[in-house]
């Protein structure tokens, strides 16, 4: 599993010229306050609608190049394998879909979820992914031919029984138009499933700045169930149902945090350190996590909004 980023592709702070992002992407307001004072990239909260977002972002060209050229590593590959199994079991419990459905996965990464859907459900699978190395792996190693670099590459009349978007919307600068495009791809009688981190969960409140899903240089839109529902509504979704769960690893981190002394925000996120190491970190306890998740996800996933991961299910009303 060799996927180390070449040194010339790794981002460095000198390549970044962060620009302010002061306008709320949900309500277009400018009335905000600092929620998490991380150095370099503070997290802001809109006083009007409650949306949380990174107050400094990479310019669009640099951000696009970051995902196309940099966003791939052995750690990401292992993490995506675990997430694929978790999300496959989540879909099975939430939807129980029939075999042979058509599926579009927006932000499919290395393609592990699409492989499970193809092999287990005999689904007709299509993916969208911008990372060149992840697409190369999905096509070459997994034999997933229908992987596109953008939604625009898929013919506008092509609709899908199931459209999924797992841990992608937090990377999107303008999430409302993004969700609107996803909804356009849902066939009559089909559904859209969006999953992201819950920044109104017990784990988030308990850990504060130490919550590991604060990654403000790449996770630039931070959702609660309330703001995710507002995003879906403004994109044209009339109603969404929610499921959630908290991974057992997150519960372990919460317990560990209870025993730790509080640290300043800079101790939990330093842009220089993150950019230097994020594609070369070691992924811990892969085998243990893979085994435990087989049982944990079906047991812990519930029709509520309380967990640290939230699944929103939208069934569009077609004319």
Nearest to 110 by CA among 63, 142, 151: 142
Q: What percent of the chain has pLDDT over 90?
A: 88
Residues 38-80 pLDDT 10s: 999 999 999 999 999 999 999 999 899 999 998 999 999 999 9
pLDDT for residue 17:
78
pLDDT for residue 70:
87
Contact 121, 97 (CB under 8 A): yes
Q: Is the pLDDT of residue 16 over 70?
A: no
pLDDT for residue 319:
63
Q: Is the pLDDT of residue 315 over 60?
A: yes
- What is the reported pTM? 0.94
Residues 199-244 pLDDT 10s: 999 999 999 999 999 999 999 999 999 999 999 999 999 899 999 9
Number of other CB atoms surrounding residue 295 within 10 Å: 11
pLDDT for residue 8:
37
Catalogue the E-assigned strands of the chain: 19-20, 32-36, 43-46, 52-54, 56-57, 102-106, 124-128, 147-148, 160-166, 186-197, 221-222, 240-245, 309-314
Nearest to 218 by CA among 81, 86, 41, 83: 41
Query: What secondary structure letter does DSSP report for 21?
Result: -
Bridge partners, residue 314, by sequence: 192, 240
Q: Which CATH number is 20-314 given?
A: 3.40.50.150
Residues 239-265 pLDDT 10s: 999 999 999 999 999 999 999 998 999
> How many residues are there in the chain?
319
Q: Is the pLDDT of residue 164 over 90?
A: yes
């Amino acid at each position: 599993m060799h996927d180390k980023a070449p040194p010339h592709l790794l981002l460095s702070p000198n390549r970044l010229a962060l620009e302010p992002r002061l306008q709320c992407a949900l309500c277009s307001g400018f009335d905000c306050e600092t929620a998490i004072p991380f150095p370099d990239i503070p997290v802001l909260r809109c006083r009007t609608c409650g949306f949380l977002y990174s107050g400094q972002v990479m310019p669009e060209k640099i951000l696009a190049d970051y995902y196309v050229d940099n966003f791939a590593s052995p750690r990401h590959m292992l993490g995506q394998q675990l997430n694929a199994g978790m999300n496959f079991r989540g879909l099975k419990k939430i939807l129980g879909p029939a075999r042979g459905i058509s599926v579009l996965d927006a932000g499919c990464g290395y393609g592990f979820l699409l492989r499970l859907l193809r092999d287990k459900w005999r689904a007709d699978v299509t993916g969208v992914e911008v990372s060149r190395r992840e697409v190369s792996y999905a096509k070459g190693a997994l034999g997933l031919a229908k992987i596109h670099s953008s939604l625009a590459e898929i013919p506008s009349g092509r609709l899908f029984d199931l459209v999924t978007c797992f841990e992608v919307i937090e990377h999107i600068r303008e999430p409302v138009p993004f969700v609107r495009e996803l909804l356009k791809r849902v066939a009559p009688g089909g559904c859209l499933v969006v999953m992201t981190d819950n920044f109104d969960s017990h784990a988030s409140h308990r850990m504060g700045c130490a919550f590991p899903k604060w990654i403000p240089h790449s996770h630039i839109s931070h959702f609660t169930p309330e703001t995710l529902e507002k995003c879906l509504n403004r994109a044209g979704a009339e109603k969404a149902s929610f499921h959630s769960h908290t991974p057992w690893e997150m519960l372990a981190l919460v317990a560990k945090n209870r025993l730790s002394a509080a640290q300043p925000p800079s101790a939990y996120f330093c842009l220089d350190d993150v950019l230097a190491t994020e594609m070369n970190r070691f992924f811990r306890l892969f085998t243990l996590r893979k085994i435990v998740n087989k049982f944990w996800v079906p047991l812990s996933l519930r029709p509520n909004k309380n967990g640290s991961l939230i699944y929103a299910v939208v069934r569009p009303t077609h004319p």
